Structure 1
């Protein structure tokens, strides 16, 4: 491609023969992909209120049931990295069918599970569907014209944070009236509709974007490194193990060794997961850094610090759990759903990187006000709404879009796979760094937690300033 590339998103031009949709023709495909990501998202958000009922129904301790969520997220990390990149070789359509097949089998196992082990196997298979987000972004980039891509990406990204918090409420109501198995009946319906939607709407002319063979060793090494690093942060910052526990140190050692093996493998592989030359380029490493730092800086302020502080009866707002969620979790989620498609329309017109920078500045401004007035309920709630626009809409939409827009031509699934895995890792790092201050039970501790979030977000802005699209591509 030349510098006069007419594609304003910087997205890869679809291969000759691939269907390019626009206008009303794109709507059925976008709806089908939204159904796919909803099938995953409902699995992530509806189950939490049902955990006590699952423990009672299966006759197991509630502590054991926590594996239902942790195992689901663990296999989500595996699916996000391996399956997204593998789709370059076998095609997006075939990979979506494979993911939906795993999701169907896993949901059936969960629905009819006679005991906890069977339910956990089902949850592991369901977790693989995490890759549906990255796959959807790649499909939209390859199947839609440039103007339609941003809007559709915003619509899919809006689902990433759940359905405005109401999916958790629905999960609680279904569990209360019909038991936890009713949740899997609802999810199964979404899976079947998703399968039919993909089968009917997916452009059959879309070809695999890579030839050769997938580097499974490289994929396994990077997956192990990311998972162990994430678990290291979780164990180290928790109350059970701590940073100096043998289990925690072992996870760090395994993560470092796996990353070293990944780098050695990628240097030698003829068709690597992502080449080291690409990894060192200004179209790759700044995005990975921005994802990690944005999630580490903003996520724990919204989803941890303010929620904990709002329930503190002595120095906070003294709210119960439901009221705290209603004031601090639902508003940013709703703002994300409303504003993300608008951001997707704006970003290709003013530039994806510029839109990300605007979002980070909005986040910094809102967090700065919170740091000054942490005990003013009206001001804090208003700033949380602003963060819904700056973070859930502007930042998350553009970070997901840039994962596709900046991805190397030779390995289109590589950057979405790696950056997607960094979303969970970044939020874990942020909570680990901020939780000691946020949990101190003082106004000063909360203010310091927000300031730490601001510093990390400033570093994310610096990473965005280093971003550059490949030659001939505008981002």
Structure 2
């Protein structure tokens, strides 16, 4: 029996359909896991100007608080979620949550931006909670329940109904940004206790072979070079020596990853899968969609809304209430519905519809960026198209199209594309949005629109596995 066949058999043996209170306990625990990660993004967003002022750094520099966090989440998602195939999902969840706890403590007591960024990197490793949770759902839930519950977890990816963004703004205004990390630390402690109680222990690994650490290292280094290539290109210039060095490092790392995977007996993901229409178009669509849309909601609009001269002149709390809460609140209902619709009408089709409508909404924001209420309404619609359709279908396709011999491989790499895309989107538009002018904000928005159009183009190449109807 080949490695793929053995892995498929192990997966079947581990698949137990959960029902009743057992299902509820597992789902609530997984929601807490992804929430522990998500709060670090959504609650902190309104406090970015406060962090810049408190630490006496520019808004451009403080953007690293978000971009490095998402870069770390992409690397953690690749390494730790795939490691979970070998050491068990429960063990992997505990490891990422402990990393999150240590990073949060550093952020609470950070005396300067450098220590804060170190804490954010450790926190970012918890990005793997999403991929691990999605694979657990696929293994423990039947197909009918999978789409809806995956949508519920995806809704958390947009925040807790926007209340977390609003709460982050209130805490930042009244008690300073460090109070946000105190709240997060309490959530992490509760989450660890629930994982130990409700996530089942595996009898053994769910795949054969050993963890491909060399391939993981090469891919991780490539992701780092990619992120800093774009960041340096935006600030120092695309042909600056430092930018070209990062570009060279990126190509060398990805080529090394390719050759390592070709020779590895148990690769992170086999080369033939990387070339397939089940893998590369999904990863590309995720990367481009997140690069395009995430930066608009979580960076450009936040700065625009708080800009006293060129923007709407709101404080952090009101900014979060108007421009983070509606989309996230709508996403709570639209994401599970999107999962249900994807199961009925097709995951690939619903992804394309979500991207197309999001492009139209982004164009409206760019054309009417001076109107607070038009921007407010448009961002609310993104709660359906982005927080609902795009995020749910992207996550679902990552699980459904992953190779049978590496069930966490595509979710991990797709999660990396998620983290890198979010960080790259901010890095690309930060130099323009940070100008504090209407022209700068408009330029940032059109950059995001162009990238989102490319996401739709790559989604046209996605194809299901042989005999698969998705």
Give TM class, smaller chain. Answer: 0.7 to 0.9
Query: Does the alignment pair 1:320 with 2:320?
Result: no
Aligned-residue offset at 1:360: 1.7
Aligned-residue offset at 1:101: 2.7
User: What are the equivalent positions in structure 2 for 1:287-436 lying under 5 Å apart?
Assistant: 287-307=282-302, 318-322=312-316, 323-370=318-365, 373-431=368-426
Q: C-alpha distance in 2, partners of 1:354/1:400? A: 14
Aligned-residue offset at 1:270: 1.4
Single out whichever of 145-154 and 111-120 deviates more from structure 2. 111-120
Query: Does the alignment pair 1:266 with 2:269?
Result: no
Single out whichever of 408-417 and 326-335 deviates more from structure 2. 326-335
The verdict on how the C-alpha distance between 1:203 and 1:320 changes in structure 2, with shifts beyond 3 A counting, is same
1:19-57 CA-partner distances (Å, limit 9, x unpaired): 211455321111101111222222334456667988999
Which of 195, 204, 208 does residue 205 from structure 2 map onto? 208
Q: C-alpha distance in 2, partners of 1:393/1:306? A: 19
Structural RMSD (CA) = 3.6
Q: C-alpha distance in 1, partners of 2:57/2:171? A: 19
1:197-230 CA-partner distances (Å, limit 9, x unpaired): 1222223356532111111110000011011111
Q: C-alpha distance in 2, partners of 1:377/1:50? A: 20
The aligned residue for residue 25 of structure 1 is 22
The aligned residue for residue 7 of structure 1 is none
Query: Does the alignment pair 1:91 with 2:98?
Result: no
Aligned-residue offset at 1:115: 8.0
User: What are the equivalent positions in structure 2 for 1:138-217 lying under 5 Å apart?
Assistant: 138-174=135-171, 182-205=179-202, 207-217=204-214
Aligned-residue offset at 1:125: 3.0
1:285-343 CA-partner distances (Å, limit 9, x unpaired): 110121122123333444455555556777x6643354554433332222222311221
Which of 129, 132, 138 does residue 132 from structure 1 map onto? 129
Which of 20, 32, 51 does residue 35 from structure 1 map onto? 32
Single out whichever of 222-231 and 249-258 deviates more from structure 2. 249-258
Single out whichever of 191-200 and 107-116 deviates more from structure 2. 107-116
Aligned-residue offset at 1:398: 0.7
The verdict on how the C-alpha distance between 1:17 and 1:33 changes in structure 2, with shifts beyond 3 A counting, is closer
Alignment size in residue pairs: 460
1:150-180 CA-partner distances (Å, limit 9, x unpaired): 1111111112233344324434544666666
The verdict on how the C-alpha distance between 1:111 and 1:434 changes in structure 2, with shifts beyond 3 A counting, is closer
The aligned residue for residue 218 of structure 2 is 221
1:235-260 CA-partner distances (Å, limit 9, x unpaired): 2213xx33343333222221111111
The aligned residue for residue 248 of structure 1 is 243
Which of 100, 105, 108 does residue 103 from structure 1 map onto? 100
Runs (5+) with no aligned partner, structure 1: 1-10
Alignment TM-score, normalising by the size of structure 1: 0.84
The aligned residue for residue 8 of structure 1 is none
**What SS is found at the alignment partner of 2:464?**
coil
1:381-416 CA-partner distances (Å, limit 9, x unpaired): 322222221111110111011111111111111111
Q: C-alpha distance in 2, partners of 1:450/1:55? A: 23
The answer (yes or no) to whether the contact 1:77–1:227 under 8 Å persists in 2 is no
Runs (5+) with no aligned partner, structure 2: 1-7
The verdict on how the C-alpha distance between 1:39 and 1:430 changes in structure 2, with shifts beyond 3 A counting, is closer
Q: C-alpha distance in 2, partners of 1:418/1:445? A: 33
